[in-house]
Amino acid sequence: MLRHVILSRSSFHFRRFSQSSAAAVIHHEPPEVQPLTYLEGFPRPDPKYAETILAIPRANSGKNISAKERKVGRVPSIVFEQEDGQHGGNKRLISVRTNQIRKLVNQLGRSFFLSRLFDLEVRSEFESSDIVEKVRVLPRKIHLQAGTDAPLNVTFIRAPSNALLKVEVPLVFRGEDISPGLKKGAALNTIKRTVKFLCPADIIPPYIDVDLSELDVGQKLVMGDLIVHPALKLIQSKDEPVCKIMGQRVSELQKKK
């Protein structure tokens, strides 16, 4: 009889613990993470330049292989993953069309090409409908031939929504026409044309606006002054200068006199 009572009480306590644990799990479910979006007033990619980059797999790498690819109008390229902004992996050798890459670089400019997301479609052949891989990518590096600006090779990074990517974001300077310093005849000394941020893939800015409208002679803007989406993390020093309004040189003043 005593044994029966002890077993019954043990079972009773076990059942109570199980029910309370289940309730606790349900009560503490983590909230859904909302996807990041571009905020009002911040630059966002122009849909006019949205384009799918076509590619085909490439079996081998090397100088001779790359030279042959270029001769037939293709750019040797590579696509890989870099989800945390540091480590690469899952590499795939590909080739893209020279004419398509040249056109995009000419339309956007080199720096803006490297801060824009594209869809990449790897097919068994360019004219084939057999898709090997379709993924969103960010161009990380592009080498252009000196003199002709022909693309020699391109590196792409896969850019899923959970990726954090290091991006050299170009700067666009605005307000020169109303800057007090520039209206006095001073000159703009542009120190940086791009700034490196760690960006969530869904909100990579195509560029960052730099407002010069209130700068007077001798004043400067540093990287910490740049206004960006709060989810972007500046990788460089916030005290590093971006630009400065320089006074006229003594020789220039003498010439005017």
Condensed to tens digits (0 to 9), the pLDDT of residues 85-106 reads 555 678 899 999 999 999 999 9
- What pLDDT, on the 0 to 100 scale, is given for residue 21? 45
pLDDT of 29 higher than 80: no
pLDDT (tens digit, 9 = 90+) per residue, 126-151? 999 999 999 999 999 999 999 999 99
pLDDT (tens digit, 9 = 90+) per residue, 205-254? 999 999 999 999 999 999 999 999 999 999 999 999 999 999 865 445 44
pLDDT bucket at 173, cuts 50 / 70 / 90? very high
pLDDT of 66 higher than 80: yes
Q: How far apart are CA 127 and CA 52, in angstroms?
A: 14
Averaged over 107-112, what is the pLDDT?
Answer: 96
pLDDT bucket at 17, cuts 50 / 70 / 90? very low
Asked if 104 contacts 98 with a C-beta cutoff of 8 angstroms, the reply is no
Q: Which amino acid is at 117?
A: L
Q: Is the dihedral of CA 12, 14, 16, 22 positive or negative?
A: negative
> Kind of pairing, strands 151-158 and 74-81?
parallel
Q: How far apart are CA 103 and CA 46, in angstroms?
A: 16
Q: How far apart are CA 139 and CA 116, in angstroms?
A: 7
pLDDT of 79 higher than 70: yes
